[in-house]
Amino acid sequence: MKAVVYDTYGAPDVLRLEEVHRPVPKDDEVLVKIRAVAVTRADCATREANRRSGLAVTLLSRLISGIRRPKQPILGSELAGEIEAAGADVTAFAVGDQVFGSTGFRFGAHAEFTCIQESARITHMPAGMSFEEAAAVCDGGLNSLWCLRLAELRAGQRILIYGASGAIGTAGVQVAKYFGADVTAVCSTKNLELVRSLGADRVIDYTQEDFTRNGETYDVIFDAVGKQPFGRCRGSLKRGGAYLATDGFRNLILALWTSRIGDKKVIFQIPPRYTQKDVLFLKELIEAGRYRAVIDRCYPLEDVVEATRYVETEQKTGNVVLSIDGGRAR
C-alpha cells in the first residue's frame, strides 16, 4: 500500500510517499481503507519533534516518539474510510461500513490502510457526509470537547475563544453553544462571517481590537491556537475563571501552580483521554444539525508536503484534508 513516511525529524520535506506492507487486523480490529485524512498541528509538531516549543519539550517529544528517529514512521490520525476487513471477534462493524474516527497518538493514518481496535475511537459515518467532511470532524471536535469538559462549561457562562477560525476554534464555538454558553469568538477579518455562522454570539476582529483591553470579562478563555498566554488573559477572567490551554509546556507548570494559588486557574491536562463515546457524541451533534466540520483545503495524498507547509503557515481556516483515491461517500 502507499503511505506517507518519514525516518528523520525535520521540515515537511522529510515526508515522502512510499510502498509499505499493508497491516493485517487482529481478532479485535478492523482494517480501514482510508479515503480521507486530516493534516493537523499534532502531525506537524510530532514530525519536527516539537522544536518550536523549546529544548525541554523537544527532549520529551523524542523520548515518546523516538530519541534518534521516529518509532512510528507514518503520521496522521483523524480519518474516514471503509471497512476492508474485520477480525474474527468484531461484531460492531462489517466489511463495507463507512466509518470515521481517530487513531490518536498511535498515528498511522497517512496511508491507504490502517488497523483500529473495534472499541477504539471509531464509529459509523453520518448519512450524507463526504469522507473529507468526516475526516475533518475529530481533530477540532475531540480537542474542544476535552477542554470544555475540563472547564465544566455550563449554560449561561461567558466564554471567549481565541483563534475561533481554526480546527479547534471552529469546533469549540459549536460545542460551547451546545453547552449553552454565551460565546465571544476572536478571529481575523476574513473569517468573521464564518464564525458568526457557527453560532458565535459576538465576534472580535483581532486586527482591529485587543480583547484584553476592552473591559469585558469571561468565565472561561479558551486559547485554541496557543497564541495568548495566561498572563495576558488573566485580567479578562472573572473571579474563579478558567484559562484553557491547548499546548505549551509552561501551561503544565501554571496548571499545577494555579490549582493551589489564586482564584483564576490554568487548565491543561495531557495526554487527552478521548473515547469512542466522544466520537459518537460528535456524530449525534452532526446528525442533529448542531455541528459541522469546516474545511479550508483538500489535497491529494501525494501533495502531503504542500498540505503540511500550508498548515504550518498558521493561516488555515478550519481543517486541511488529504484525499485518497477521491470520491464521495455513498
| CATH assignment of the domain containing 191 | 3.40.50.720
Give the integer Cα–Cα distance in Å for 75 and 10. Answer: 13
Residue 320 has pLDDT above 90, yes or no: yes
Q: Residue 178's domain spans which residues?
A: 140-267
Element (DSSP H or E) covering residue 59: helix 55-65
The pLDDT tens digits of the residues spanning 132-180 come to: 999 999 999 999 999 999 999 999 999 999 999 999 999 999 999 999 9
* Count of structural domains within the chain: 2
In a domain, 207, yes or no: yes
Residue 253 has pLDDT above 70, yes or no: yes
% of the chain with per-residue pLDDT over 90: 85
Q: Is the peptide bond before 272 cis (omega within 30 degrees of 0)?
A: no
In a domain, 209, yes or no: yes
Please name the residues in contact with 330: beta carbons below 8 A apart, sequence gap of 6 or more: 98
Do 133 and 144 reside in the same domain of the chain? no
Contact by Cβ (8 Å): 126, 283: yes
Do 32 and 120 reside in the same domain of the chain? yes
Do 258 and 297 reside in the same domain of the chain? no
Domain boundary (231, 249, 267) is at 267
CATH number assigned to the domain comprising residue 132: 3.90.180.10
Of residues 110, 46, 45, 117, the one with CA closest to residue 74: 110
Return the pLDDT at 108. 98
The pLDDT tens digits of the residues spanning 48-75 come to: 998 877 777 788 788 888 899 999 999 9
Do 105 and 210 reside in the same domain of the chain? no
In a domain, 272, yes or no: no
Burial class (CB in 10 A: 0-12, 13-18, 19+), 24: exposed
Q: How far does Cα 316 stand from its chain's mean position? A: 13
In a domain, 283, yes or no: no
% of the chain with per-residue pLDDT over 70: 98
The pLDDT tens digits of the residues spanning 91-130 come to: 999 999 999 999 999 999 999 999 999 999 999 999 999 9
Domain boundary (223, 252, 267) is at 267
Give the integer Cα–Cα distance in Å for 268 and 290. Answer: 26
Domain boundary (250, 267, 284) is at 267
Confidence of residue 328 (pLDDT cuts 50, 70, 90): very low
Return the pLDDT at 62. 87
In a domain, 115, yes or no: yes
Burial class (CB in 10 A: 0-12, 13-18, 19+), 252: middle
Do 131 and 146 reside in the same domain of the chain? no
| Mean pLDDT for all residues in the chain | 94
- Neighbouring CB atoms inside 10 A of 309's CB total 15
Give the integer Cα–Cα distance in Å for 190 and 174. Answer: 19
Confidence of residue 329 (pLDDT cuts 50, 70, 90): very low
Residue 326 has pLDDT above 90, yes or no: no
Q: How far does Cα 119 stand from its chain's mean position? A: 20
Q: Which residues of the chain form beta strands (DSSP E)? A: 2-5, 16-19, 29-39, 78-86, 98-102, 113-117, 122-124, 158-162, 182-187, 202-205, 218-223, 237-244, 265-267, 295-300, 319-323
In a domain, 275, yes or no: no
Return the pLDDT at 330. 40
Give the integer Cα–Cα distance in Å for 240 and 172. Answer: 21
Do 219 and 177 reside in the same domain of the chain? yes
